[in-house]
Amino acid sequence: MNRMIRKLFKTNRTEKKQSIETSIQKQDLLSNNLLENENKLRSIYKNGSDVIFRSFFIGGKEKALLIYIDGLSNMEEIDENVLSPLMQITDEKFDHVNDLIEKKISVSDVKEIRAFSECTNEISLGNPVIVVDKRKTGFALGLSKWEMRSVEEPSAEMVVKGPREGFVETIRINTSLLRRKIRSPDLKMESMEIGRYTKTNVVISYLEGVADKTLIEEVKNRLSRIDIDGIVESGMVEEFIEDNPYSPFPQVLSTERPDIVTSALLEGRVALLVDGTPFSIIVPTTLYSLLQASEDYYGRFLIGTAIRWLRYLFLVISLLLPSLYVAVITYHHEMVPTTLLISMAASREQVPFPALIEALIMEITFEALREAGLRLPKQVGAAVSIVGALVIGEAAVSAGIVSAPMVMVVAITGIASFTIPRYSASIAIRMLRFPMILLAGILGLLGIMLGVITLIIHLCTLRSFGVPFLSPMAPMQVDEWKDVLIRAPWWKMDTRPHFTGEYKKYRQAPGQKPGPTREDNN
């Protein structure tokens, strides 16, 4: 009996909810009365001085209304290709407005709309909307036009050899940059709207038949779960789709370069383009992807391999050098040659602080100078960061606050951190440097070992859309080491990296090692 009552109440609630939704949908539909439609739209855009309502007559007979936002729509095209031809009609019948629009309006993109929500969406995109009296449908015209930045090289990802173009804030320009590089119809671009108020357009880009279908569905599911007032930048999307949000390491790859996105798509990854920002998101990613630069693949493979090894070395230096110095100076004097130990002791004779406090002072000062250099105007930012570091370092040594070796250690550490290609990975290493220094000051080399072991365990637990963060080293996939420890020549990299699920293994024909062509002379 109780089950029947609960079922009855549940059915009533469902029917009530459906009836409410139906009534809301009916209220959202356009009316055949132009005055009602105009009043409803004016109430929606109340106190909107930039929204233009232009009443006119089609051929002097049918009353119509044109709505657009000043600054988002192409007013010259509206005057020339919309208002002028419609108002000058003299001998047309108005039984079929669709045919009339197709014949008289020379606009490539015309969409029929039936609801107020569709009207507001199109108007917000910069597309003018025409509503005609005695018609329950309107027409959205693809005449959007607004100021945009030209395509130029990203200042944060500059290369010596490679393309000199980067993404901009307009999403359709970004998609066109990808279409120029991948001309196959297998390149898919699926759009989603995120944000209750901003209604930000997010494009999911992938290569059909190359990217795993389960990966594509997972990306869509994570994006569809986002329910927020607005998305302003791709970094907001990153935080909503990461596997482990509390990790200091980024689990997605962010880039401004179309060539990097193109390479990722060809490997079977998925790219997210967010309207209003030049930064795209690539998933899944690994730690080694964050340490690779596009320029590694445009030069000779031997040089690329050497630079990659140098990058790995400086990654370790950036993370551990200050903590090693603190540990040796504080606890492990026997590890330093006598001559060097005497020199270091002499330089520290006037310093009143222990090595731990000295290292923290210098590291915090260096990070403050770097941040100040980023926030100041370009004309003075570089000068302040460089001159400030020189002046403060020299003054601190002269005053006996820090020692000269500590200044050298911090300077080398700062230079090493600049060799990491991705800013998000670089700042994670910079932040982890401080707990490593504290562990070294408290426990010496034992503290550094504990910190490194904890860090490795954390990295082993990370996933990026189900892909192990240390892949292909852990779990071990020897076949894919040719693009991790070394940069193998292109004629050797005939297989794609295997992330998860099904994938198209081969990306080029085997046996393409270059060499002179030999012909058999019979």
Task: Dump pLDDT digits (tens) for 320-342.
Answer: 999 999 999 999 888 888 888 88
Asked if residue 276 and residue 308 are part of one domain, the reply reads: no
Residue 10 lies in a domain: no
pLDDT (tens digit per residue) in 296-325: 899 889 999 999 999 999 999 999 999 999
Residue 255 lies in a domain: yes
State the pLDDT at residue 97. 61
Residue 521 lies in a domain: no
State the pLDDT at residue 398. 81
State the pLDDT at residue 191. 93
> Per mean pLDDT, which range of 36-40, 134-138, 232-236, 469-473 is the poorest?
134-138
Asked if residue 416 and residue 308 are part of one domain, the reply reads: yes
Half-sphere exposure of 266 (CA within 13 A, CB side): 18
Domain count of the chain? 3
CB-based contact 163:259 (threshold 8 Å)? yes
Distance separating alpha carbons of residues 171 and 355, to the nearest angstrom: 51
Asked if residue 311 and residue 189 are part of one domain, the reply reads: no
Structural domain for 57, as ranges: 27-141
Strand order from edge to edge, sheet including 51-58: 51-58, 62-69, 129-132, 138-141, 110-113
pLDDT (tens digit per residue) in 216-235: 999 999 999 999 999 999 99
Pair of tokens at residue 399: 């005053």
Residue 82 lies in a domain: yes
- Indicate the SS3 state at residue 351: coil
Residue 491 lies in a domain: no
Asked if residue 322 and residue 257 are part of one domain, the reply reads: no
CB-based contact 350:400 (threshold 8 Å)? yes
Residue 17 has pLDDT above 50, yes or no: no
pLDDT (tens digit per residue) in 368-425: 888 877 777 766 666 666 667 767 777 788 888 888 889 889 989 988 998 999 989 9
Residue 13 lies in a domain: no
Name all contacts of 47-56 with Cβ < 8 Å and 24+ positions apart.
51/123, 54/83, 56/83, 56/86, 56/87
Asked if residue 259 and residue 135 are part of one domain, the reply reads: no
Q: In terms of pLDDT, which residue wins out, 258 or 134?
A: 258
Asked if residue 177 and residue 279 are part of one domain, the reply reads: yes
Distance separating alpha carbons of residues 162 and 175, to the nearest angstrom: 20
Q: Which of 450, 468, 486 is the last residue of a domain?
A: 468
Q: In the chain, pLDDT over 90 holds for what percent of residues?
A: 46
pLDDT (tens digit per residue) in 174-220: 999 999 999 999 999 999 999 999 999 999 999 998 999 999 999 99
Asked if residue 305 and residue 177 are part of one domain, the reply reads: no
